[in-house]
Structure 1
Amino acid sequence: MRRRFAAALTLAASLPASMAARAEDWPMFGGDPSNRHHSALGQIDRGNVAKLRPAWIFQTGVTGYFQAEPVIVAGVMYVSTTGNHVAALDAKSGRVLWTYTHKARTEKIFGPPSNRGVAVANGLVYEATMDGRVIALDAKTGKPVWDKEAVRPEEGETETASALSAQLGDKPVQGSSRLGFKMPPLLAEGLVIVGVTGAGYGLHVEDDKGGLDGGSVVGIEGGYGRRGWLAAYDAKTGEERWRWYVTKQDGWEGAFRATTPDGVPLHRDIAAEKAAAPQHREAWRVGGGSLWMTPAYDAEAGLIFLGTGNPAPQNFGLTRPGDNLYTMSLVALDVRTGALRWHFQQVPHEEWGYDVASPPFLLDHPTPEGPVKAVAQASKTGWIYVHDRATGRLLARSEPVIAHKNLFAPPSPEGTVVSPGPLGAISWHPVAYDAAAGRAFAQVRHGAATYTVKTVPASGGRPEIRYTETSEAKGEPSFSTLTAVDLARGGAIAWSVRAGSRLSGGTLSTEGGLVFSGEEDGHLDAHDARDGRILWRFQCGAGIGGPPVTYAVDGRQYVALAAGGASFTKASGFGTGDALVVFALPD
């Protein structure tokens, strides 16, 4: 065990001084700025993981959509809950040190009131909220130090939702592109960096149970959407220092590409798009591009790397001709100024909901000329891409992690079945990367969706409304796998293990040769990193929604995660809860 902790100390010493921390901690989202979700701790290993048991449980008192990744610094755990409340806990016992109760300034938020974590540094706890605020709390007391309103979620809403609702049998319609924050902030260079979500997401048609009608998402033709952005705030004062907008003001149409940058045909009607372009030169103003997860950070290069979301209107591209830069991209920004260094647009003119959502992670990629400092991005389209950090050049693309069907076939009036659907292959859930093994471990969703173009006739002085409805494809296979991708050896699939229910929350790998992964039916599973065999599992009582983490206190290793319900639909059949569950080996 001493050797393992010594190895962890070596890893911590290799980080930039501003990011170095105790090896036993999990001091930020992803574990460190590389976003690898890998731990050098190995007290819990293949040989003893079967003895793992709950050490303590913290109940938040707020049920459902608990997606946060805990942060552990110097024996204190900080965790945000549904509704943006925050708790500080003794990481050894679970004793509550303080709580912060968030009072939202508006109920008009985007989607469920979930939050994916906080950031901690300089005696402060930082959180970005669903009601559009960036706040700093005193890490010892939980008292607010500063509170800045970054955006009003309801600003710029259209009346399209109510108009469409009336035409769909008065079913409630939710969405309307309200801006707010979900991602855990990134702390770098004295800045709190965070991006908005809700910019390009579709409206949702609710069913009679208050859930989503078969996962139905509606993308409406016309001036629907918001302009996504990432901003940096002074960590001491909360004052905004820079802002980068996802949609490109000049030339967002791009080159009208017929294929993706890696050569996959897009099946676009480029002639029709070019003909429509003069009428839609201002489409970038409401062009979407949500930002779902925390960027990776290379301190030496001074760059951050982040994925951007789909353009608006979602799934309906007739009124946004062109490539829609810089949506659906992996981008590199200067951390000090927000200036764009490079971008790689995975899907130009996207119409299927393939947000670049999973957090990018850093690695050294082997090439015939020697290792290259690289950044990898797991995609909803079913590949993991590896890029040169300095230039964005595509170094490698993994084997596909799913079976494609009609990939990039456009929506149609008769309905087009496409695999994957908008949930991915690999969605927002973090991918763990073990640098020593050269393997990435991803939760992969296998399934298809039907994309149907529908028309609401003009009536009562209101013009015709066209929209694309997305729903789960009936009769198509639907399941999840935990999949290991050998990035050090050409991107081959090393192994893939089918799960009992849909996987959610993300993965964690450790020096103990383990991969932890959660399921929506409430199970936390520990897999052997060599072949994917399940060595241990525990029923947490509610769907796993957050990424697992690991840390150590007084020489004892713990594994922690949020179990509060994970499904985006209320009709999933699995329970919701409010528990943060922490495991350890017996004393």
Structure 2
Amino acid sequence: MIHQGRSGMTIRLSIARASSLSLLAGTLTLTPSAHAEEWPMFGRDHTNRHFSPLTVIDRGNVAKLRPAWIFQTGITGYFQAEPVVVDGVMYLSTTQNHVAALEAKTGRVMWTYTHKARTEKIFGPPSNRGVAVSGGKVFEATMDGRVLALDAKTGKVLWDHEAVRPEEGESETASDLAGTLGAGAIQGSSRLGFKMPPLVADGLVIVGVAGAGYGLHVEDEKGGLDGGAVVGIEGGYGRRGWLAAYDAATGEERWRWYVTKEDGWEGGFVEKTADGVPLNRDIAAEKAAAPRQREAWKVGGGSLWMTPAYDADLGLIYVGTGNPAPQNFGLSRPGDNLYTMSLVALDVKTGTLRWYYQQVPHDEWGYDVASPPFLLDYATPQGPVKAVAEASKTGWLYVHDRATGTLLGKSAPLTTQKNLYAPPTETGTVVSPGPLGAISWHPVAFDPTTSMAYAQVRHGATTYTVRTVPASNSRPQIRFTETSEAKGEPSFSTLTAVDLAKGGAIKWSVKAGSRLSGGTLATAGGLVFSGEEDGHLDAHDSANGEMLWRFQCGAGIGGPPITYSLEGRQYVAVAAGGASFTKGSGFGTGDALVVFALPD
């Protein structure tokens, strides 16, 4: 295969192509590489920092980076997975939950697993964000609600646990409502499934469901979903989100923690966020509605989007929770809606809640706490504190005491905040940021040697409009909140560096050529890698943001880049398959994992 690099040089690639993941390759013996510098789990380790100490690729030579090999899955689209590299083998999940084991040096296919879903009715696009590898097993959580273990040497299924029943979902389908709402094509309803890469800790496989707070997504004029309306229907749309732990040896469930609190989920009907920002709530109206909505917690939402961080010394895991249901419509769920929109700390052995910090009580804007938390040592006047940081859709990066949850600090705003927490109205309320960010599910890289965090930040505004469909002979009145991109407001992305050693000050911010997605990778070579929706993978100088290299991967970057080393040669890998936002954008989707290295 011939590919034109940035410099115009013709590059001949070594390609490992899987003509289809529907065929199982022959079983091969894995040869461990004692000199491999691995990427053994999501985030590289339990801190979730997405930072590598490798220095072979650095500021001085990154411009020479070229493709080393490409793996094509044969299935186009929604390729968001972060690869895992263990003992010289790369493990990769694809759209539709297929899995491949590849020789990390060459891309040679060692085995593939073809997932057979029990139902076509899944939550959202059929994307998967990665696997976990531990103890000779590959663990995956699937969109059709299963948690399974594969033999790392052969791909053979060792156990397959049904965590969500295939019929579990809304009784009223999206197609039933499309005509009623005057909408075009509508995707999805509340249906539980898994997107996050599992966390393996203390002999447990820990994973949480997505889809609990899902609204109905209406396609925009380009045929995409991210730019279209999100319809949050008044009433019972939603499910009760949960995080569960499964025995890594057998797949048996050991504990389950529910996001929505059964007793007292209303909280204190607070008028401000915990960090003092007014919420503009109509507390009187909420309290008046409360007697009619005492069981709203049963469908209260709270999806779990990304992998928890883990502190083995404290025995705690840290995970963010999603929006309450119904999405963007608050009167049918009065109160603070505990523990949605929160960073929570749970006991790894039992799932018992140790502390929580609710970023947005009674959310009506879709501000899920979605980005994976990361662990750090945070400087305070009294000395360094073991801390956990969480990037938010509202535009701040919060830092908490890891043991107690106490807020130690928050960054400067990473984006323009306009009418923050202004409620939706019938005339339409313009709010910035909207439900896509500042920072959504994408990982934030953190360099512990400099205390710098590197985030992909989306800048833009959303219009929230309350609409009413009058009652008819066959249906009662329907009220819903519709979201749409605010017209006339700027919309762009930046790669932004936040100095957590200096109170969260912004050190530099560089505007991207297209929307940023997938997350960032920082290395000790002084580099930050970041993918764009137009297909470019970029390398920036971590000190000042200067772009030092970029490569067109052929499809939108929708997953986090990683790096690893074999026999002294450093590689950078990223999935290029696009995502839901690329449909109709002109950039298209793809099926390639692209792996780069310096020339031999």
What interval of TM-score do these two structures reach, taking the shorter chain for normalisation?
Answer: over 0.9
C-alpha distance after superposition, 1:289-337 (max 9, x if no partner): 0000000000000000000000000000010000000000000000000
Please give the alpha-carbon distance, in whole angstroms, between the structure 2 residues aligned to 1:334 and 1:513: 36
Change in Cα spacing, 1:22 to 1:406, as seen in structure 2 (3 Å) is farther
Match of 1:115 in 2: 128
What does 1:371-450 correspond to in 2, within 5 Å? 371-450=384-463
Please give the alpha-carbon distance, in whole angstroms, between the structure 2 residues aligned to 1:475 and 1:206: 20
C-alpha distance after superposition, 1:153-197 (max 9, x if no partner): 541413163442121346333221110000000000100000000
Residue 230 (structure 2) aligned to one of 217, 225, 233: 217
Match of 2:6 in 1: none
Residue 589 (structure 2) aligned to one of 559, 565, 576: 576
2:274 is equivalent to residue 261 of structure 1: yes
Please give the alpha-carbon distance, in whole angstroms, between the structure 2 residues aligned to 1:534 and 1:548: 16
Residue 497 (structure 1) aligned to one of 482, 493, 510: 510
Match of 2:155 in 1: 142
C-alpha distance after superposition, 1:509-560 (max 9, x if no partner): 0000000000000000000000000000000000001100000011100000
Q: Secondary structure at the match of 1:130?
A: coil
Residue 93 (structure 2) aligned to one of 73, 80, 93: 80
Q: In the TM superposition, what is the alpha-carbon distance from 1:76 to its structure 2 partner?
A: 0.3
Please give the alpha-carbon distance, in whole angstroms, between the structure 1 residues aligned to 2:394 and 2:261: 23
> Could you tell which deviates more after superposition, 145-154 or 340-349?
145-154
Amino acid at match of 1:518: G
Match of 1:525 in 2: 538
**Alignment check: 8 A CA contact 2:125 2:580 kept:** no
Match of 2:24 in 1: none
Identity of aligned residues (%): 81
Please give the alpha-carbon distance, in whole angstroms, between the structure 2 residues aligned to 1:232 and 1:22: 33
Change in Cα spacing, 1:207 to 1:472, as seen in structure 2 (3 Å) is closer
Q: Secondary structure at the match of 1:167?
A: coil
Residue 102 (structure 2) aligned to one of 89, 98, 102: 89
Match of 2:185 in 1: 172
Match of 2:21 in 1: none
Q: In the TM superposition, what is the alpha-carbon distance from 1:122 to its structure 2 partner?
A: 0.8
C-alpha distance after superposition, 1:338-357 (max 9, x if no partner): 00000000000000011000
C-alpha distance after superposition, 1:95-116 (max 9, x if no partner): 0000111100100000100000
Match of 1:195 in 2: 208
**Alignment check: 8 A CA contact 1:257 1:348 kept:** yes
Q: In the TM superposition, what is the alpha-carbon distance from 1:477 to its structure 2 partner?
A: 0.2
**Alignment check: 8 A CA contact 2:225 2:580 kept:** no
Please give the alpha-carbon distance, in whole angstroms, between the structure 1 residues aligned to 2:182 and 2:362: 31
C-alpha distance after superposition, 1:559-580 (max 9, x if no partner): 0010001343522221210000
Please give the alpha-carbon distance, in whole angstroms, between the structure 1 residues aligned to 2:336 and 2:221: 38
- Where does the alignment leave 5 or more consecutive residues of structure 2 unmatched? 1-33
Match of 1:13 in 2: none
Please give the alpha-carbon distance, in whole angstroms, between the structure 1 residues aligned to 2:491 and 2:315: 41
2:313 is equivalent to residue 293 of structure 1: no
Please give the alpha-carbon distance, in whole angstroms, between the structure 2 residues aligned to 1:565 and 1:329: 29
Residue 218 (structure 2) aligned to one of 198, 201, 205: 205
Match of 1:331 in 2: 344
2:478 is equivalent to residue 465 of structure 1: yes
**Alignment check: 8 A CA contact 1:267 1:408 kept:** yes
Please give the alpha-carbon distance, in whole angstroms, between the structure 1 residues aligned to 2:331 and 2:459: 28
Residue 82 (structure 2) aligned to one of 47, 63, 69: 69
Please give the alpha-carbon distance, in whole angstroms, between the structure 1 residues aligned to 2:423 and 2:296: 20
**Alignment check: 8 A CA contact 2:241 2:303 kept:** yes
Q: Secondary structure at the match of 1:382?
A: coil
RMSD: 1.3
Q: Secondary structure at the match of 2:205?
A: strand
**Alignment check: 8 A CA contact 1:158 1:176 kept:** no
Residue 161 (structure 1) aligned to one of 170, 174, 199: 174
2:370 is equivalent to residue 353 of structure 1: no
Amino acid at match of 2:243: L
Please give the alpha-carbon distance, in whole angstroms, between the structure 2 residues aligned to 1:70 and 1:228: 26
Amino acid at match of 2:575: A
Please give the alpha-carbon distance, in whole angstroms, between the structure 2 residues aligned to 1:77 and 1:154: 34
Please give the alpha-carbon distance, in whole angstroms, between the structure 1 residues aligned to 2:238 and 2:181: 20
**Alignment check: 8 A CA contact 1:153 1:180 kept:** no
Q: Secondary structure at the match of 1:43?
A: coil
2:61 is equivalent to residue 52 of structure 1: no
2:138 is equivalent to residue 129 of structure 1: no
Q: TM-score, normalised by structure 2?
A: 0.93
**Alignment check: 8 A CA contact 2:36 2:88 kept:** no
Residue 369 (structure 1) aligned to one of 363, 367, 382: 382
**Alignment check: 8 A CA contact 1:110 1:153 kept:** no
Please give the alpha-carbon distance, in whole angstroms, between the structure 2 residues aligned to 1:85 and 1:280: 41
Q: In the TM superposition, what is the alpha-carbon distance from 1:207 to its structure 2 partner?
A: 4.9
Please give the alpha-carbon distance, in whole angstroms, between the structure 1 residues aligned to 2:478 and 2:193: 27
Residue 230 (structure 1) aligned to one of 226, 237, 243: 243
**Alignment check: 8 A CA contact 1:183 1:293 kept:** yes
Q: Secondary structure at the match of 2:501?
A: helix
Please give the alpha-carbon distance, in whole angstroms, between the structure 1 residues aligned to 2:218 and 2:520: 31
Amino acid at match of 1:29: F
Amino acid at match of 2:520: T
Please give the alpha-carbon distance, in whole angstroms, between the structure 1 residues aligned to 2:61 and 2:597: 11
Change in Cα spacing, 1:539 to 1:234, as seen in structure 2 (3 Å) is same
2:49 is equivalent to residue 36 of structure 1: yes
Match of 2:19 in 1: none
Amino acid at match of 1:408: Y
Q: In the TM superposition, what is the alpha-carbon distance from 1:208 to its structure 2 partner?
A: 6.8
Please give the alpha-carbon distance, in whole angstroms, between the structure 2 residues aligned to 1:22 and 1:438: 28
Please give the alpha-carbon distance, in whole angstroms, between the structure 1 residues aligned to 2:593 and 2:528: 19
Q: TM-score, normalised by structure 1?
A: 0.95
Residue 335 (structure 2) aligned to one of 310, 316, 322: 322
